[in-house]
Homo-oligomer: A and B are copies of this chain.
Amino acid sequence: MERITVQVNKPYDIVIGKNLIDNAVKYLSQFIQKRKVLIITEDNVNKHGYLDKLKYSLENHCENIEFLSLPPGEAQKNLKNVELIIRYLADAHFTRDDVLIALGGGVIGDLVGFTASIYLRGIAYIQVPTTFLAAIDSSVGGKTAVDITQGKNLVGAFHHPVCVLCDTSTFQSLPTDIFEDGCSELIKYAMIMNPKLLKELIEREQPLNKESSDLPEIIYECVKMKRDIVLKDEFDQGLRQLLNFGHTLGHALEQRSQYRISHGRGVAMGMAVFTKMAVTQQLIHKDIYTSLIQLLSEYHLLSEKPSYTSDQLINIMLNDKKRRTHQMTTVLPNEFGQCRLHVIDLNTFQQNFEKEWEQYEVHQRY
Which residues on A are within 8 Å of B, measured CB to CB? 34-36, 63, 79, 83, 86-87, 90-91, 93, 95-98, 114, 117-122, 143, 145, 148-151, 154-158, 235-236, 318-319, 321, 323-326
Contacts and interface: CB of A to CB of B under 8 A. Distances in A.
Given A93-B318, A114-B118, A118-B155, 7 more contacts: A35-B325, A87-B150, A90-B154, A91-B150, A93-B319, A121-B143, A121-B236
Copies in the complex: 2
A97 B93 CA distance: 38
A120 B154 contact: yes
A90 B148 contact: yes
Contact of A90 (B35, B119, B151): B151
Contacts of A98: 325
Contact of A148 (B86, B96, B157): B86
Contact of A149 (B87, B155, B324): B87
B63 A325 contact: yes
15 contacts: A79-B79, A79-B83, A86-B154, A87-B148, A87-B150, A90-B148, A90-B319, A93-B318, A93-B319, A93-B323, A95-B323, A97-B325, A118-B156, A118-B157, A121-B157
A145 B121 CA distance: 8
A147 to B, nearest CB: 11
Contacts of A83: 79, 148
Contacts of A154: 86, 90, 119-120
Given A120-B154, A157-B157, A96 B149 contact: no
A151 B120 CA distance: 10
Nearest to A236: B121
Contacts of A324: 95-97
A318 B36 CA distance: 15
Nearest to A118: B155
Contacts of A145: 121
A158 to B, nearest CB: 6
Contacts of A151: 90
A322 to B, nearest CB: 9
B122 A157 contact: yes
What 9 pairs between A and B have smallest CB-CB spacing? A90-B150, A97-B325, A121-B156, A120-B321, A97-B324, A95-B323, A118-B155, A95-B325, A95-B324
Given A118-B157, A119-B155, A143-B121, A36 B325 contact: yes
A329 to B, nearest CB: 11
A236 B96 CA distance: 11
Contacts of A95: 321, 323-325
Contact of A157 (B117, B150, B318): B117
Contacts of A149: 87
A133 to B, nearest CB: 20
A99 to B, nearest CB: 10
